[in-house]
A and B are shown apart, each in its own frame.
Chain A
Amino acid sequence: QKEVEQDPGPLSVPEGAIVSLNCTYSNSAFQYFMWYRQYSRKGPELLMYTYSSGNKEDGRFTAQVDKSSKYISLFIRDSQPSDSATYLCAMTLAGGNMLTFGGGTRLMVKP
């Protein structure tokens, strides 16, 4: 079993929908949590960076971390076709630097 699990999708939604992307993890020592967006054949782009539990909002994106359940989420409001990409969650230990990634969820937003 992988340390970080992510449903590979694809997840298909209509434009304007609220999208929910999730990851579960097994290592309770993870402290920093990130979401990256990766377009096909491009480098991952950092969307959200959070520490420990709680919520963080940035524009149309909201990241949630529930350490008690070992579960993190990324919500995208008013989704756009340009949001179509693979979304990768990543996490690292306190004082750590090695990112452990989920396998990614492919999102398709239909106009």
Chain B
Amino acid sequence: DSGVTQTPKHLITATGQRVTLRCSPRSGDLSVYWYQQSLDQGLQFLIQYYNGEERAKGNILERFSAQQFPDLHSELNLSSLELGDSALYFCASSSRPVDEQYFGPGTRLTVT
């Protein structure tokens, strides 16, 4: 157990809908990262927050957004969902902006 928690574990929704994925980092970690894992693209970095501020952005679609709250938990919002958004979404955390990243168990999103 990495200490990173994610909810929900599974999410099934329809195209065009909006969902929110939640992540709580390890105790003491200030940095949160979001990754998407799909069969065709593998694991891809989406976005990083450090102590409430956006720090780095990867291949994140405009329909996706994230934020980190004062208690350091983070939420990833996915809107106008498409079939291709079906994937595993992982959150990771680290204590410093550049450091070992520990992954949560993931949220499996299925868009029908």
Which B residues are within 8 Å of any A CB, using their own CB? 2, 4, 31, 33, 35, 42-45, 48, 55-56, 58, 88, 90, 94, 97-98, 100-106, 108
- The reply to whether the CB of A97 lies closer than 8 angstroms to some CB of chain B is yes
Question: Is A44 a contact of B103 with CB atoms below 8 Å?
Answer: yes
Instruction: Compute how far the CA of A34 lies from the CA of B94 in the bound complex, rounded to whole angstroms.
Output: 14
Given contacts A97-B97, A98-B48, A98-B58, contact A44 B90 (CB under 8 A): yes
A20-28, A64-72, A75-83, A99-107: which one contacts chain B?
Answer: A99-107
Question: Is A46 a contact of B101 with CB atoms below 8 Å?
Answer: yes
Instruction: Compute how far the CA of A102 lies from the CA of B43 in the bound complex, rounded to whole angstroms.
Output: 8
Which A residues are within 8 Å of any B CB, using their own CB? 32, 34, 36, 41-46, 49, 88, 90, 92, 95-104
- Chain A residues whose CB sits within 8 angstroms of the CB of B106 once the complex forms: 41-43
- Chain A residues whose CB sits within 8 angstroms of the CB of B31 once the complex forms: 97
Q: A43-B4, A97-B48 are in contact. List 16 more A-B contacts (CB 8 A).
A: A32-B98, A34-B100, A41-B108, A42-B106, A43-B90, A43-B103, A97-B33, A97-B94, A97-B97, A99-B33, A99-B43, A99-B101, A100-B45, A101-B44, A103-B42, A104-B42
Question: Is B56 a contact of A97 with CB atoms below 8 Å?
Answer: yes
- Chain A residues whose CB sits within 8 angstroms of the CB of B88 once the complex forms: 41
Question: Is A45 a contact of B2 with CB atoms below 8 Å?
Answer: yes
Given contacts A42-B105, A97-B31, A101-B43, contact A92 B100 (CB under 8 A): no
Q: For A96, give the chain B residue with the smallest CB separation.
A: B98
Instruction: Compute how far the CA of A16 lies from the CA of B23 in the bound complex, rounded to whole angstroms.
Output: 38
Q: Can you sample 8 A-B contacts with CB below 8 Å? A: A34-B101, A41-B108, A43-B105, A49-B100, A97-B31, A97-B48, A97-B94, A99-B43
